[in-house]
Amino acid sequence: MRHSALLSVDRFGRVVLPKAVRSRLGLCAGSSVRLELCDEGVWLAPNADVEPLAKKREVLVFTGTAQGDLESAVDEHRARRIGAVTRRGPTKP
């Protein structure tokens, strides 16, 4: 699908991408895009290498790959939360 639009650059050098383009590419506030200067002009593309979050129904959802021992990290975090609620300090899982 090809999309064409005439855009303007504001005094700070910013260009606003049309909502239809942002939606199609999955871009939201804070999304990372890659810019390349070519002989023909400027090329922009979503930077999938850096974008582990996606907005789904107004909620940010992690879509990346978990690294490390996720189960231990969750257990440790849960123990700290339980300890804080019971005012006993962190408990060991």
Note down the domain range covering 79: 65-93
pLDDT of residue 15: 92
Q: What is the model's pLDDT at position 86? A: 84
Quick one: pLDDT at residue 89? 56
CA distances from 27 to 2, 21, 23, 44, 53 (A): 17, 8, 6, 12, 10
Nearest to 46 by CA among 14, 18, 24, 70: 24
Extract the residue ranges of the chain whose pLDDT is less than 50: none
**What pLDDT was estimated at residue 85?**
84
Has residue 35 been placed in a domain? Answer: yes
pLDDT given at position 49: 67
Are 50 and 69 in the same domain?
Answer: no
Number of folded domains in the chain?
2
Residue 65 is predicted with a pLDDT of 66
Q: Quick check: 54 and 46 in contact, CB under 8 A?
A: no
